[in-house]
Amino acid sequence: MATITREPTSQIPNYRNQVKKAMPSNILEPDYGNLAWFLVHGALISIGYYLLVKHFSWWIAPVVSLVIGHSFACMGFLAHDICHGGTIKKLWIRDLLAGLGFSPLAIGPYLWRRWHNADHHNNTQVEGVDPDHLFTIEDYKNNPILRWLYRISPLARNLIIFSSFSYRMDQQMIRMLLTYLKSKQTTSGQRVLLVAQFLVPVTLWVTGSLLLGTQVFWWGYFVPLLIGNAVAISYIATNHFLNPLADDRDVLATSLSVTLPKALQWLDPWHQHFGAHVAHHLFPGAHGKHSRAIEAKVAELWPDRFHTMPITTALKLLWQTPWVYEDKTTLVDPHREVRAGTLGHGLPKEK
């Protein structure tokens, strides 16, 4: 059930210290067994490629693409956890394994650590600093494409926005890659690393799949890449896009945790419990298997601050609400002047 509450007025608690005191110490211990997921997804992708090469048919190809695309997303979730350093301490091993997991999406581990670990986690929902927050009214005024999106019908706009889930992860990756390449704070060596960690995996996946046959490229890489993007962005959008912007880094205010439908809850460990996003922002290095227990304790300690809902409800709310911040707590359709609150600021469970 969704938990939508009033904005707390008291001082922000020290969430991490209080949860640490209330939980067993093993929640922060590494779990090397989690790396076995590489074998699972490597096997699924290999079987998929074998079927596309040896037993290709038009009816089986979409199913194979779905399985491979899901494994692409799952390997991305695994690489995300590895990059946070909870399991692997040596940086070169961490980058090697994370680079493997991110390779289908062409996300370099150095880019991810700089973009996600540093800029996003340290500044979640901080306007103008977090690279992943939604558009502001200033963005709307300065962006002709965004203004056009809000002049067309809401149905057409939503169809365009939600269809963009199929490439949005890589679109944002390219935007951040260019941002850091242009940054004066980036050294020449770092620029070489950024470019190399992008070009090498793209070249290997594209060349390798084409060598196995054009049907393997299209159904074994291109279509799965769209599916992998969509799975990842479905989580990322629901984790933050309904939350207010923030001045203070209040983890419980700026993140939303989502749960899968009952029939799909077995996929939670496959996704590294990525939906338990409040727990992840509290303890980025903790193994995902502890995330739901951490969140149960958070809900017990701060029931008025913790936000969680089914991912289907969150996606429905994203469909129903505009994607432009008028101010820190209000989303607005600037063309039609339709407004919606954010989590903790009047956003209802459903409309």
pLDDT digits (tens, 9 = 90+) for 213-223: 999 999 999 99
Assigned domain for 289 exists: yes
Q: Where are the alpha helices (DSSP H) in the chain?
A: 15-22, 37-54, 61-83, 91-102, 109-112, 137-142, 144-149, 154-163, 168-182, 188-211, 214-217, 223-240, 251-254, 277-282, 291-301, 311-320
Which of the four pLDDT bands, split at 50, 70 and 90, describes residue 195? very high
The stretch 169-190 carries a mean pLDDT of: 97
| Residue 8 pLDDT > 70 | no
Assigned domain for 154 exists: yes
The stretch 153-163 carries a mean pLDDT of: 97
- Measured distance CA(124)–CA(114) in Å, rounded: 14
The stretch 186-207 carries a mean pLDDT of: 98
Assigned domain for 348 exists: no
Q: How far is CA 164 from CA 150, 217, 292, in A?
A: 16, 21, 30
Query: Which residues constitute the domain of residue 63?
Result: 39-341
- Measured distance CA(167)–CA(138) in Å, rounded: 25
pLDDT > 70 in the chain, percent: 96
pLDDT > 90 in the chain, percent: 86
- Rounded to a whole number, what is the largest CA-CA distance in the chain? 63
- Total domain count, the chain: 1
| Residue 297 pLDDT > 50 | yes
Bridge partner residues of 330 (DSSP): 327, 341
Which of the four pLDDT bands, split at 50, 70 and 90, describes residue 287? confident
* 78-137 pLDDT per residue, tens: 999 999 988 888 999 999 999 999 999 999 999 999 999 999 999 999 999 999 999 999
Assigned domain for 213 exists: yes
The stretch 320-346 carries a mean pLDDT of: 95
> 270 or 11, which is more confident?
270
- Measured distance CA(316)–CA(53) in Å, rounded: 39
| Residue 9 pLDDT > 60 | no
Assigned domain for 58 exists: yes
The region of weakest confidence among 4-18, 46-60, 163-177 is 4-18
Mean pLDDT of the chain: 93
Q: Which strands sit side by side in the sheet containing 135-136, from one edge to the other?
A: 135-136, 324-327, 330-333, 338-341
- Whose tokens are 């291109």? That residue is 222
- Smallest Cα–Cα separation from 76: which of 37, 50, 117, 125? 37
- Measured distance CA(307)–CA(304) in Å, rounded: 8
| Residue 270 pLDDT > 70 | yes
pTM of the model: 0.93
| Residue 20 pLDDT > 50 | yes
pLDDT at 26: 85
- Measured distance CA(8)–CA(29) in Å, rounded: 32
- Measured distance CA(13)–CA(311) in Å, rounded: 27
Which of the four pLDDT bands, split at 50, 70 and 90, describes residue 31? confident
Assigned domain for 138 exists: yes
Amino acid at 23: M
| Residue 350 pLDDT > 80 | no
| Residue 351 pLDDT > 60 | no
pLDDT at 3: 44
Assigned domain for 92 exists: yes
Assigned domain for 147 exists: yes
Which of the four pLDDT bands, split at 50, 70 and 90, describes residue 292? very high
